[in-house]
Amino acid sequence: MVDEPGRVVVEMTVSEMHLDESGEVSSGALFALADCAMSLISNADVTAVAVATHFVRHGTAAPGQIVTADARPAMRADGPERTWDIPLTVGDACVARFVGTTLTLSR
């Protein structure tokens, strides 16, 4: 895991338990990884809750491969709402993209 100002990176090594009935990594496992990254970055210096997410799958990952979720701000935030862009990659290939919006409850 990478935790630096304005960025959080988390990884998941795909195992048999992450596979769906077709033998590919499940969308749920990919979504959960991105959601974890968003939770870590959005609550790094404030208390925040998710209010919206958008998830698009572009590819897959096989057992033993590492999926990386790299969370960064999608835009400059002036108010209590923040939007995060989180591509999920295997090597150089983007397998999914997660965009989430959080609401800051306290600073």
Tokens linked to 38 = 């968003």
Q: Looking at residue 76, what DSSP letter applies?
A: -
Backbone angles phi, psi at 33, to 5 degrees: -65, -45
Supply the Cα-derived Rg of the chain in whole angstroms.
14
The answer to whether 85 touches 73, Cβ cutoff 8 Å, is: yes
Domain boundaries, the chain: 2-106
User: Mind listing the pLDDT tens digit for each residue in 9-44?
Assistant: 999 999 999 999 989 999 999 999 999 999 999 998
Reported pTM: 0.92
Residue 98: pLDDT over 80: yes
User: Mind listing the pLDDT tens digit for each residue in 48-93?
Assistant: 999 999 999 999 999 999 999 999 999 877 889 999 999 999 999 9
- Determine the pLDDT at residue 2: 66
CATH 3.40.50.970 for the 2-106 domain, yes or no: no
